[in-house]
Amino acid sequence: MKPTVDTKKIADSIRELKERKNAIIIAHYYQTPEIQEVADVVGDSLQMAQHAAQSQADIIVVAGVYFMAETAKILNPSRKVLLPDTGAGCSLADSCPPDKFKKFIEAHPGSPVVTYVNCSAEIKAMSDIVCTSSNAVKIINSIKTDKPILFAPDVNLGKYLIQQTGRDLILWDGSCVVHENFSIDKILDLHAAYPDAKFIAHPESQPHILRIASYVGSTKGMIDFVKRDHHQQYIVATEAGILYQMQKEVPHKTLIPAPAFEDNTCACSECPYMKMNTMEKLESCLRTEQPEIFVQEPVRKKAVRALNAMLKLSAQPAQSMSMEV
């Protein structure tokens, strides 16, 4: 896609501001192509957290959603962390309010608490360890306990983890608005039109969607899979923003977004929160150094323990999260 004159002007200004202010942009794969192009790092939630933890930049701009910016601040509190639009939330994080989660923990004394990174700082502060979609199997398998493990907030990832690990998990009932919305009937119709295409899916999708997938994994896992696999066509069940980086990696392969119940204009699934970030907001946030993300120190101190526990385990040689059939 060729940038318009205006987009190019904004991109030039963003690059100049980054250099002058010693700032970096860490973006998620679900961001628009223009934002991915001006970012210093584009990755999944784990890669974003790892880069945020190690960054020496004075300013870290998170082109993603609120919990990602909070994670960056928790891991690197001496840096200024900015998020272009603080309204960029997440249905998973919203499903898990701290007061209700506290009661959930109290109802299961002695159970270890594992939370998916898509949750607020307060929820991380109540957790023993955090996980992302790329390390969740490894993290669940690492826990030694004879008690059930509490897992929040994604019920679909939780069900997938029970199936993959055989462990006893008690699940919070949250879900992602994007991954809950894939239509099995439409996917099967699409597959009939592309019989040679492999179907690949993110583990936030519902069990009946994952059951028909040839590969299940995080956004980075999905990109790595289409790179190493020998097929030529893929139906991709995750947020459509991933197709930009994926297509760059496999320019000669055909990538088809999986259809949702309610088709929007591009007949694919877009996260309304991720797409709140725009080039204009990114430029303005770098210029004004607003909005800045803060996490209260008592909360941060507890949350960083759960995040560091995850980062430590992720650094060790991994049994991969993904499933290939």
Give yes or no for residue 283 binding ligand SF4 (CB under 6 A).
Answer: no
Contact call for residues 187 and 104 (beta carbons, < 8 A): no
Nearer to ligand SF4, 111 or 127 (CB): 127
Of the residues 47, 95, 118, 219, which one makes contact with ligand SF4 according to CB under 6 A? 118
Distance (Å, whole) CA 318 – CA 298 = 32
Interface with ligand SF4 (CB under 6 A), residue total 13
Please report how close the Cβ of residue 226 comes to ligand SF4 at its closest, in angstroms. Answer: 19
Residue of 187, 320, 318 lying closest to 256 (CA atoms): 187
Contact 236, 246 (CB under 8 A): yes
- Residue 266 phi, psi dihedral angles, 5° rounding: -95, 10
User: Contact 306/36 with Cβ under 8 angstroms?
Assistant: no
Site string for ligand 13P, 112-151 (x = CB under 6 A): ------x-------------xx------------------
DSSP string, 67-94: HHHHHHHHH-TTSEEE-S-TT---HHHH
Binding at 177: pick from ligand 13P, ligand SF4, none (beta carbon under 5-8 Å per type): ligand SF4
| Binders of ligand 13P in range 160-199 (CB under 6 A) | 176
Residue 177 as a binder of ligand SF4 (CB under 6 A): the answer is yes
Facing residues of 81 across strands?
60
For residues 245 and 30, give the distance between their C-alpha atoms in angstroms, rounded to a whole number: 9
Closer residue to ligand 13P (CB): 10 or 72: 72
Decide which of ligand SF4, ligand 13P, none touches 303; Cβ closer than 5 to 8 Å per partner kind. Answer: none
The option from ligand SF4, ligand 13P, none interacting with 199 (CB < 5 to 8 A, set by class) reads none
Closest distance of CB 69 from ligand SF4, Å: 12
Choice from 23, 75, 176, 282 touching ligand SF4 (CB under 6 A):
176
If one asks whether residue 273 binds ligand SF4 (CB under 6 A), the answer comes out as: yes
Burial 129-150 (b: 16+ CB within 10 A, else e): bbbbbbbbbbbbeeeeeeeebb
Which residues of the chain form contacts with ligand 13P (CB under 6 A)?
A: 29, 44-45, 118, 132-133, 176, 202, 204, 218-219
